[in-house]
Amino acid sequence: MKELGADAVINVRFMTTSVMGSAAELLAYGTAVKLGKPAN
């Protein structure tokens, strides 16, 4: 896993798929944000 230095995660989604009888596939992804000062 690669760390990108985000301050927060604002959305996470999970997807699962049945591959074979007792096997499953899990995919997780999300949106990470870096906080900063507002532009004037």
Residue 27 forms part of a structural domain: yes
- What is the band of 13 on the pLDDT scale with cuts at 50, 70, 90? very high
Question: Looking at the whole model, is its pTM more than 0.85?
Answer: no
pLDDT of residue 23: 92
Structure tokens at 35: 């906080």
DSSP-assigned beta bridge partners for residue 13: 29
The 8-class DSSP code of residue 7 comes to: S
Residue 3 forms part of a structural domain: yes
- Domain carrying residue 5: 1-35
pLDDT tens readout for residues 15-39 = 999 988 889 999 999 999 999 988 8
Angstrom distance (rounded) from CA 2 to CA 12:
17
Sequence-ordered list of residues with C-beta below 8 angstroms from that of 24, at least 6 positions apart, any chain: 16, 17, 18
Residue 13 forms part of a structural domain: yes
**What are the C-alpha distances in Å from 12 to residues 19, 30, 31, 37?**
22, 4, 7, 24
Residue 10 forms part of a structural domain: yes
